[in-house]
Chains A and B, each alone.
Chain A
Amino acid sequence: MNKSEQEYVVYWQKVVGNESLRIDLKKLKDTVHNVFRNESDNYKQKLVYNLLETVKNHDQSRFFYILLKTINKPKEENFKELWDMLKGSYDVMPREAFINFAYSIIIGIMATYGGKENE
């Protein structure tokens, strides 16, 4: 749609090693959208509320705790996609990067309200 969509942003330097970590926020959002599509709205609204609280307080560990607990469903194939994504990018992030990362996930979840997308 516009130029910013193709942008990959270099967010932070990995703690170990000197490889720059890149994260594709759009892909992250889309993945989240896919995996949460079939969950119930009430559950997701509550989850979003909890996640928002942790981001507000810049509480990265709590954020990941809630998130990982939520997606810890080995039986559901869908979540594997998100696991794979997080594997590549999970690390202690600088504040700015964390905000972008967290809200991309949250808005991805929010996009799935109502079961199917409202065009």
Chain B
Amino acid sequence: MSEVIKMPSMYETVKSEEEQKHLLQFTGNWFIDVGILGFVNLMEEVYGWDFKTLQKKINEDKEKVYCSYFPFAYFYKWLSDRNQKVNPKLIEKLKEELEKKKFQDNKDLFDFVWFTFICNLFKELWIRKRSELIYQNEAFTKRGKLKKQYYYKNTKIYLQKIGERENIINEILSKHQNEIEKILKVKKDLNKLKYENLEKLLNSNDESISQELKKLIELLKVKHEEIKKFLNEEWENNVINQQKFTGEESLFYRIPIDSGFYKNFLFFNNYVGNLEQKNSFYNAICSNLDEEEMLKKIDKSVNKFLSSEEEFPNINYTELSTKEFKKQIEYLFVYLLCFTYAFEKYENFGYMTFYSNDLEFSYIINKRLKLYKKKIEESRNPNLIFKVTWQQIIDSLVEYKSSWSLENMYIISYQRLDNQTQENVEYIGIPKLQASILLDDTIRENLNNSIQFRSEKFEGNKYCWLLKEFIKGKPLYPIILSHINLALNEERVPNLSTCLYSLILEANISEFKAEKEKQNGNLFSENYFDNYKSLINEIKEDVRFTSFGAGLINQISKDVDTKKRIARELFNALKAKDKNLFLNILLKNMNENKNLCSNTNLNNWIFNKIIKNNISFEMYGLILTMNLLRGRKNE
């Protein structure tokens, strides 16, 4: 890893009251928090400001950040995400202009950025959209009325230019149908040309075509360029420089922007003109509730995780009024709009983000994850993403050395979110207990393994990554049981060290939990604050004690087959969860070996871990069983 990301120091200087007020920090609502994280990511991606720099900029002049830098960054990213050309020079120019110029108020500042920079960004895309009109009559309704989106002062000139190009297209189609079909690789009769086909035609270098057609295509190119040039001038003159067009013309100059996520939300709405787009975006940034009816309620249009208030009027908790939020979070909608930017897309997996209760910590981990993105995507192993993610989280935790951050850590992922569907949304939390245990290197390394738990014949995933299961709080015992089953029946070599750690870990956790339960919910009992440090020591002590004690069982016989037979019988008893049967088989087989029976270590171990133990005897039983399989092949 070439890039080194510094972790924040634990002790930071006390902030002034003014600074505190504008401090970017998490709110406790995960949806808003992820939005804040997305906002930080966005600003970093476009302006290269890291978290600290952004915080500094906000402290210096928050209006400038939210009303000018943010909107530009938002649209800049929107375009580059859709593989549209964006001019990076505009970023520097924006920074310069904002330093130089003085503005009356926020609105003035925003308007300036909107016309001079945002509209500038969209020039190419707008020209393309407007030159997509190929046939003049498509600008009119069936009744012969000009469609609203084509209404503006120079419509006539515009349509005339479109008409000139249309004539050439018609001539080409009527005279050179066969050749055109060959160039465009279409079989059907071409009566009408679509814009994609027009582009193909303009870019074709086919030398075999007739001279006449060549000439026509050249002419078509000229006409097409003329339209683009004309539109370019219109945009430059009327939008970017003059910012002069009427409300009626506004729709003609609409910024062509659309979103599957915020379908029809304010400025994404297809029937909203440029000026309305501008105003509603401004109102959203400043949460001007009186201006925008839609902003009064947050529902499905913004938050895919809430149901729509209109669709489900009887669910009253979805009636979230933004008014209350606004009191606490000044730029709420900025964050809500940035929600998706907190997520990183991984091929074959979907979108994912890491979320904890601390903004800076979440930011750092997500940043680290991005460095591994390529590695994750190249790998075919679907578990790798978890492996890398948790590795980063754990590394950061170890580095951070702050146990409070162990609490409330989540991975949020989804495959698809749009206005209709929410696909495979997962919200995986890491319990504090698990997180604390993972801080121990030895335990973690032993769990950080994939073991086979399904037969070779199984068609799906045969392997299971134990760390992931553990973090998810799922039991490891059934997986190890299947793993040992494979060792017994399919001659697989079992991973004994990993199994030993997993089983002892689980046994100790279940005993620990049982102990807690016994205290009968005495929340603030003595043990309550004694966190999990002693548990880690107990686990390690148990590993030592058990690996020696249970290891002695291997002396039960010198014959490999006998040991395998006993192992199989014991395994079946475990499968049946029959403690009595297990002990009966074990002791009956041991009874013939006097030395083994009276071996204090083994004897005490069986007594303590199996006979006396009603909570986790199965795990210890399995450890004993797998020890009978030890070194079968190599010994």
Q: How far is the CA of A103 from the CA of B612 in the complex (A)?
A: 9
Q: Mark B495-522, 1 if CB is under 8 A from A, else 0.
A: 0000000000000000100000000000
Query: Does any Cβ of A come within 8 Å of B391's Cβ?
Result: no
Partner of A111, one of B591, B600, B613: B600
A91 CB-CB contact with B under 8 Å: no
**Would B587 and A103 count as touching, CB distance under 8 A?**
yes
A100 to B613, CA, bound (A): 8
| A78 interface residue (CB < 8 Å to B) | no
- Docked pose: A107 CA to B586 CA in angstroms: 11
Given contacts A25-B612, A45-B591, A114-B598, contact A107 B606 (CB under 8 A): yes
Note all chain B residues with C-beta closer than 8 A to A55.
580, 583-584
Asked whether A110 lies within 8 Å of B603 as measured between CB atoms, the reply is yes
* A-chain residues with CB within 8 Å of residue B607 when the two chains form the complex: 25-26, 29, 104, 107
Contact B587 A107 (CB under 8 A): yes
Q: Considering only CB atoms and an 8 Å cut-off, how many residues of chain A contact the other chain?
A: 33
Q: How far is the CA of A48 from the CA of B590 in the complex (A)?
A: 11
A21 at the interface (CB under 8 A from B): no
Given contacts A99-B580, A106-B587, A110-B587, contact A4 B598 (CB under 8 A): no
Question: Is B541 close to A, CB under 8 A?
Answer: yes
Q: Give the distance in Å from the alpha carbon of A72 to the alpha carbon of B588 in the complex.
A: 25
Is B612 a contact partner of A104 (Cβ separation < 8 A)? yes
| Distance, CA A51 to CA B588, complexed state (A) | 10
Kindly list chain B residues whose C-beta atoms are within 8 Å of the C-beta of A26. Answer: 607, 612
- Cβ of A99 and Cβ of B579 under 8 Å apart? yes
Bound-state Cα–Cα, A107 to B597, Å:
8
Proximity string of chain B (543-587) to chain A, C-beta cutoff 8 Å, 1 when within and 0 when not: 001000000000000000000000000000000000111011001
A11 to B170, CA, bound (A): 96
Instruction: Select one of A25, A58, A113 contacting B597, CB under 8 A.
Output: A113
CA distance A85 to B32 in the complex (A): 66
Q: Nearest residue in B to A100 (C-beta to C-beta)?
A: B611
Residues of B within 8 A of A100 (CB): 611-612, 614
The answer on a CB contact under 8 Å between A111 and B594 is no
List residues 29-87 of chain A with CB under 8 A from any CB of chain B.
Answer: 29, 41, 45, 48-49, 52, 55-56, 58
Task: State whether A4 touches B608 (Cβ < 8 A).
Answer: yes
In the assembly, what is the distance between CA of A100 and CA of B607, in Å? 9
Q: Assess whether A114 is in contact with B595, with CB atoms less than 8 Å apart.
A: yes
- A11 and B613 alpha carbons, distance in the complex (Å): 13
In the complex, whether B538 has a CB less than 8 A from a CB of chain A is yes
Contact A118 B611 (CB under 8 A): no
Asked if A118 and B599 sit within 8 Å, CB to CB, the answer is yes
Closest chain A CB from B292 CB (angstroms): 63
Residue of B579, B588, B594, B598 most packed against chain A (CB within 10 A): B598
Q: Is B236 an interface residue (CB 8 A)?
A: no
Contact status of A52 and B608, CB under 8 A, knowing A110-B591, A118-B600: no
Asked whether A5 is an interface residue with its Cβ less than 8 Å from the other chain, the reply is yes
The minimal Cβ–Cβ distance linking B599 to chain A, given in whole angstroms, is 5
- Contact assessment for A118 and B591 in the assembled complex, using a CB-CB cutoff below 8 Å: no
* Residue B542 CB within 8 A of the other chain: yes
Collect the chain B residues with CB atoms within 8 Å of residue A114's CB. Answer: 594-595, 598
Residues of A within 8 A of B591 (CB): 45, 48-49, 52, 110
Residues from chain B with Cβ under 8 Å of A112 in the complex: 598
CA distance A118 to B587 in the complex (A): 17
Residue of A nearest to B588 (CB): A52
Q: Note all chain A residues with C-beta closer than 8 A to B600.
A: 111, 117-119
Are A2 and B542 in contact, with the CB atoms below 8 A? yes
Confirm or deny: A19 has a beta carbon within 8 angstroms of a beta carbon on chain B.
Answer: no
Given A52-B587, A56-B584, A104-B607, verify A110-B597 contact (CB < 8 Å): yes
Interface residues of B in 595-629 (CB under 8 A from A): 595, 597-600, 603-604, 606-608, 611-614
Residues in B with CB closer than 8 Å to A1 are: 545, 604, 608
| B611→A56 contact, CB < 8 A | no
| Interfacial chain A residues near B511, Cβ < 8 Å | 4
CB neighbours of B594 from chain A (8 A): 41, 45, 113-114
Question: For the complex, what is the distance from the CA of A40 to the CA of B463, rounded to whole Å?
Answer: 52
Q: What residues of chain A lie closer than 8 Å to B603, measured between beta carbons?
A: 107, 110-111
| Closest B residue, CB atoms, query A118 | B598
B579, B583, B606, most chain A CB atoms within 10 A? B583
- Once the chains are docked, how many angstroms separate the CA of A23 from the CA of B482? 36
When distances are taken between beta carbons in the complex, the residues of chain B under 8 Å from A118 are 595, 598-600
In the complex, which residue of chain A has the Cβ closest to the Cβ of B542? A2
A96-B614 contact given A45-B591, A110-B591, A111-B597, CB 8 Å threshold: yes
Chain B residue nearest in CB terms to A33: B603
**26 A–B contacts from the bound complex (CB under 8 Å):** A1-B604, A1-B608, A2-B541, A3-B538, A4-B608, A5-B608, A7-B612, A26-B607, A29-B607, A45-B592, A45-B594, A52-B584, A56-B581, A100-B614, A103-B587, A103-B611, A104-B607, A107-B606, A107-B611, A110-B590, A110-B591, A110-B603, A111-B603, A112-B598, A113-B595, A114-B595
Kindly list 6 other residue pairs between chains A and B, CB separation below 8 angstroms, not including A52-B584, A113-B598, A114-B595.
A9-B612, A41-B594, A49-B588, A52-B588, A110-B603, A113-B597
**Which 3 residue pairs spanning A and B have beta carbons closest together?**
A110-B597, A113-B594, A113-B598
